[in-house]
Structure 1
Amino acid sequence: MPVKPILDLGRNLLVLGVHPGEPSGPALPAAATIDIGEGGRLLAVEVAVAVTVAVGETLALPAAGEGSPSVSYDPGSATLTVELERHAGGLVRSAAARVGLVVDGQGTLLAVEVPRRGAGYEITYPSGNR
């Protein structure tokens, strides 16, 4: 099951659910790199999880077979990757972004919130109009 983005028009961001359950709760700020394809299409988000989690906290990530196969975690680099689409050619550019990690009360990661606009980028798809 691929990650299905939810458009939050009120906050002008995309909510990428990475774990079964309602993606609501506090959002922890995190540094990320987003990959944008032709037409402003969001392809992937790479989040530096290690700098987000405070000392002594644990962040439960989707285990193999849970959530979406489009979500992976590399413990060596402490990077969470959410892939919406595979790059199929054409232009792709990467941009730094500040995202939010939505966690539940047990510290399980439920979603990644990605602003549709930031310094040097704009995501125009998915936006609900295509």
Structure 2
Amino acid sequence: MPDMRGERGAGARRRCAADELAEGGGGVRFVVAVGGRPVSAFVVRFDGIAHGYLNQCAHVPMELDWQEGQFFESSGLYLMCATHGAIYAPDSGLCVGGPCRGASLSKLRIEERDGNVYWLPESPYEAPAG
């Protein structure tokens, strides 16, 4: 396991093996703390890059996935809120269709290295206690 104390990887939290994220496929859910409160988050792969977001629609803060870890709509090109039908660009989190057009998902800092995907906590998204 690489040393996570270096400047670039300080506080990094392993979320999954890189090969667990298929292009436009299932995501991996995890929990972050926002103001001390646990909030669902996820990481997915799009255009060969891992992207992470809070699992909350920009319209109303409900979880996006229609089944656990299923965030993409059928074409695998957009993230979709199962409750509100909002459509998001997977690389930026920008809502490109639906009730919150122009708003964005809350993006998390994700890094991929050594065959693993890491979340790098930074304010206001922190590692949960415990």
Shared fold, TM over 0.5? no
- Calculate the TM-score normalised by the size of structure 2: 0.35
- Calculate the TM-score normalised by the size of structure 1: 0.35
Task: Kindly indicate whether structure 1 or structure 2 has the higher relative contact order, using CA contacts under 8 Å at least 6 residues apart.
Answer: 1
